[in-house]
Amino acid sequence: MGPDTGLQSCPRAAILEDSMKSLAFTVAAGCLSAGLALAETPILTVYAPDYFVSEWGPGPRIEELFEARCDCDLQFKPGDLLPRILLEGDRTEADVVIGLNTDVTKKARDSGLFAEHGVDLSPLTLPIDWTDEVFLPFNYGHTAFVYDSTRVDAPPASFDALLEAPDDLRLVIQDPRTSISGLALVLWVQSVYGDKAQDAWEKLAPKIVTVTKGWSESYGLFTDGEADMVLSYTTSPAYHIIAEEDETKKAAIFPEGHYFMVELAARLSTSDQPELAGEFMEFILSEDFQSMIATGNWSIPAALDSAKWPEGFQKLDLPEKVLFYSEDEAADLRGEAIEAWRRALSQ
C-alpha cells in the first residue's frame, strides 16, 4: 500500500460515518415521533362484563364508533365489575364501568367511588321515570318465564296460574345467591306476594326440576328439552326470532306484573380522563350506541323509540305492568326474599 492510499481513503470513511450518523438520527427521530404520538393518544379504560365485550356482544362495534369520535384509545377490561372496583378502590384504572344493575347500586353508591354522569336524561324511553344522577341506564328487560309453544299448549296466564299448574310442569330457575336473574326472581315473588312469598315458593317448588348457578346453564337445559319453562327475560324470544327464524319460544306475560331490570353505566370519581369519560357517557344515549344494544346485548335499548327496534323485538310480548324496587328497597328485602326461597326449596 503506497503512502497516498490512506490519505485517499479517509474522505470515504468520513462520508460513510456521517451517512450512518444521519441515518441513525433519522431512525431515532422517527421512533421518537411515533412514541410521542402514541403517548399523546388518550386512553379511556372501561370495565365491562365478559358478554358485553365478546365478539358477539356490542363492545367491539362500540369501541370502533367511539374511537372514531374521540380520537382516543378505548380499552375494555372484561371481568367482575363492582367487586373488582371495590377491591381496587381509588387505585382503580377504570374511568367508566358499564354493566351494573340496580340490585348493586346501593353498595356502589355508598363506596363514594362514582361521580355524577352529567347526562341529559330526556332521551330515555324506560317504562319508569329515571332521575338518578350517578347511574345511567343503557338497556333494560323484564324477568319472565319463557316456554316452547311446541311443548306447552296452554302456558300459565298469570303468576297465580303458574303456582296452581300441575306439578309435572317442569321449570328451571337460577340461584339468587349467584345469579342476577335468580335474585330478580325472588324479588319478583316478593313484590307480587309480600308476606305470602314463602307460601308461593312452596307451591312452585315441586315444579322446579333444578336450580342452576347461572342463566346460561338454565337456558341450555331448556333449549335441550330438559324443561318446559325457564326463568329468563321477555327479550329472550327475540334471539330465536332474529338469529334462528324460530317463533316457538315465547314469554308468558302475567297481569300481576313483571320485575323490571335495568343495566347501568357510571363514571369513576378517580378517573384521570374525566372529560373523555363524560363524552363516553353522552355517547351511551346516542342513537349510534343504542341501535347496537338490541341484537348486541339482546335487551331493550334504554333510549330508542320502539319504532326503531329490530322487527324481531317489535314482535315481542311485553308486560303492561312493571314491578320495580328502589336500591334501598331491594337492599332491605334481599335477605328476606332469598330466605323465603331457601326455606321453601329445602323442605
State pLDDT tens for residues 93-114.
Answer: 999 999 998 878 899 999 999 9
Instruction: Average pLDDT across each block of 10 residues of the chain; the chain has 347 residues. List them in order.
Output: 37 43 46 50 95 92 95 94 94 96 88 97 96 97 96 96 96 94 96 97 97 95 97 97 96 97 96 97 97 95 97 95 92 94 92
In the chain, the amino acid numbered 230 is V
Rounded Cα distance between 279 and 281, Å, is 5
Residue 316 in 3-state DSSP?
coil
Q: How far is CA 77 from the centre of its chain?
A: 13
DSSP string for 16-82: HHHHHHHHHHHHHHHHHHHHHHHHHS-EEEEEE-HHHHSTTSSHHHHHHHHHHHHSSEEEEEES-SH
What is the DSSP secondary structure assignment for residue 77, as one 8-state letter? E
Q: Would you tell me how many other CB atoms lie within 10 Å of the CB of residue 254?
A: 20
Cβ neighbours of residue 7 under 8 Å, at least 6 residues apart? none
Q: Which residues pair with 263 in a beta bridge?
A: 101, 139
Spatial CA neighbour of 47 closest among 296, 280, 310: 280
In the chain, the amino acid numbered 35 is G
209-to-33, 133, 212 alpha-carbon distances in Å: 64, 42, 10
Which helix (H) or strand (E) segment holds residue 108: the answer is helix 105-110
Give residue 80's pLDDT.
Answer: 86
Cell 380499552 belongs to 75
What is the DSSP secondary structure assignment for residue 309, as one 8-state letter? S
Residue 167 in 3-state DSSP?
coil
Residue pair 316/136 in contact (Cβ under 8 Å)? The answer is no
Q: How far is CA 346 from the centre of its chain?
A: 32
Give residue 39's pLDDT.
Answer: 55
Give residue 94's pLDDT.
Answer: 97
Give residue 40's pLDDT.
Answer: 82
Dihedral in degrees, nearest 10, Cα atoms 133, 138, 142, 145: -140
